[in-house]
Amino acid sequence: MIRDIENETMPREDLRALQLQRLQAVVERVYHLVPFYRRRLDEAGVKPEDIRTLDDLQRLPFTTKQDIRDNYPFGLFATPMAQVVRIHASSGTTGKPTPVAYTQRDLETWAELMARTMACAGAHRGDIIHNAYGYGLFTGGLGFHYGAERLGAAVIPVSGGQTRRQIMLIQDFAPTVLCCTPSFALYLAEVGLEMGVSFQDTQLRVGVFGAEPWSEAMRQEIENRLYLDAVDIYGLSEIMGPGVCVECIEAKKGLHLFEDHFLPEIIDPQTLEPVPPGEYGELVITTLTREAFPLLRYRTRDVTSLDYSPCICGRTIARMQRIRGRSDDMLIIRGVNVFPSQIESVLMETPGVAPHYQLIVDREGQLDTLEVHVEVDEAMFSDEVKKMEALAKGIQRQIKDYFTVSVKVKLVEPRSIPRSEGKAQRVIDKRKI
């Protein structure tokens, strides 16, 4: 169902006019309210009044995660704290998280866009929504929560973990919509099987799955095992959180991007030039309506393409293809963003641990696994097994504390991690998505 007929099915010419008007307003705002952007725009020789057409977007500077980090914690906020009513954060490339802020109106917009998202995915008033996205700093839990309430559905804010209990709730509370990561959906199927629960007998009808890349094959498997329609959702905390785009249940062919609030581009990550329509490249988003945390041309590092042709569902807004990968080295492990550099800094903080490590990412059954190989040098070596095991467990615990992701630490011999041109290959991703 289309919740906002006007904004989701607008003729593209009208949409472009709206985007231009909003783009001009956001450039004007950040130029006057965010010192970082004033400096960047001055450096680029662009004044707000230079933005006369949407093509002038190309003249604006990019924003990267590093920029957010350089202005840690609140340097990029465009409103005084008195107007900020919520702060979320995602993991950064190093120790510090990446905080983002919301005004009351930002939260209204977010709830509305998530309500659109849920409607697009086939949910409606009267549905019971089992929300297994994590509640907390991560935008997933609360993003879905407020969207579902805005839609008029009943939310079960179950959050992550306690899988068996979740299956009990799915049986007893009879939710009709399941929201979680696709890998957790498959894990639910697996645990359900162990418990002798048939998902055919549950009321689940739709699943809204995101926060990590998945594939068409995984969709088939989820649909076959959970007996529901599985749709893909995308979002990122820097931009807002979930609700940037979502597939429609009618076509399940590309994710409708709410272009009245987000202006997307696809660029070549090397040349930074736009790629021809339909070609794959890095997704760049300019926020058009955010008050507390507006971003110009934010480089998401997610690789995808955009399709501007109308969809059978009636929407005229662009459709983003499934995320195909990353243009940097970020890993998504069970929905948690992990940068190899973060693991490195955890290892460096462990006394006696050598700087040579390798990350092996794989998928066992339905769950991502991360194995950290650490080379043992003389400083950390002991002739006693218990000391070596304590060392491995200590590193394991530190990483778990830091990322909330369980990893396996494997101690390996020196020089067993292959070096090429003096530089070690840090990540081996064996997952077939």
Partner 1 sequence: MKVEQISVFLENKAGRLAEVTRVLGDGGINIRALSLADTTDFGILRLIVDQYDKARELLKQKGFTVGKTEVVAVEVPDRPGGLGLVLQILAQAGINVEYMYAFVQHSGKNAVIIFRFDNLDDAITLLQKEGIHIYKGEEVYRL
Nearest to partner 1 of 224, 416 (CB atom): 416
Please compute, for residue 118, the number of CA atoms within 13 A of its CA located in the half-sphere on the CB side: 32
Nearest to partner 1 of 6, 413 (CB atom): 413
Nearest to partner 1 of 173, 381 (CB atom): 381
Please, what is the minimum distance in Å from the beta carbon of residue 358 to partner 1? 13
**What are the helix (H) ranges across 318-384?**
340-348
**SS3 category, 101:** strand
Please, what is the minimum distance in Å from the beta carbon of residue 432 to partner 1? 25
Please state, in angstroms and rounded to a whole number, the distance separating the CA atoms of residues 2 and 9. 9
Please, what is the minimum distance in Å from the beta carbon of residue 32 to partner 1? 58
- Given a contact cutoff of 8 angstroms between Cβ atoms, the answer to whether 359 and 331 are in contact is yes
Nearest to partner 1 of 82, 379 (CB atom): 379
Nearest to partner 1 of 52, 386 (CB atom): 386
Please state, in angstroms and rounded to a whole number, the distance separating the CA atoms of residues 112 and 105. 10
Please, what is the minimum distance in Å from the beta carbon of residue 370 to partner 1? 15
Nearest to partner 1 of 415, 423 (CB atom): 415
Nearest to partner 1 of 82, 385 (CB atom): 385
- Given a contact cutoff of 8 angstroms between Cβ atoms, the answer to whether 370 and 340 are in contact is no
- Read off the DSSP letter of residue 310: P
Please state, in angstroms and rounded to a whole number, the distance separating the CA atoms of residues 128 and 153. 6
Exposure string (b/e) for 321-340, b if CB count within 10 Å is 16 or more?
Answer: bbbeebbeebbbbbbbbbbb
- List residues binding partner 1 (CB under 8 A): 376-378, 381-385, 388-389, 392, 410-416
Please, what is the minimum distance in Å from the beta carbon of residue 194 to partner 1? 25
Nearest to partner 1 of 323, 417 (CB atom): 417
Please, what is the minimum distance in Å from the beta carbon of residue 359 to partner 1? 16
**SS3 category, 331:** strand
Please state, in angstroms and rounded to a whole number, the distance separating the CA atoms of residues 35 and 37. 5
Please, what is the minimum distance in Å from the beta carbon of residue 307 to partner 1? 47
**SS3 category, 105:** helix
- Given a contact cutoff of 8 angstroms between Cβ atoms, the answer to whether 155 and 245 are in contact is no
Please, what is the minimum distance in Å from the beta carbon of residue 369 to partner 1? 14
Sign of the Cα pseudo-torsion (34, 35, 41, 46, in order): positive
Question: What stretch of H or E contains 403?
Answer: helix 385-403
Left (φ > 0), alpha (ψ -120 to 50) or beta: where does 273 sit?
Answer: beta
Please, what is the minimum distance in Å from the beta carbon of residue 373 to partner 1? 10
Task: State how far the alpha carbon of 101 is from the alpha carbons of 80, 89, 293, 296, 339, in Å.
Answer: 10, 9, 6, 15, 23
Nearest to partner 1 of 384, 421 (CB atom): 384
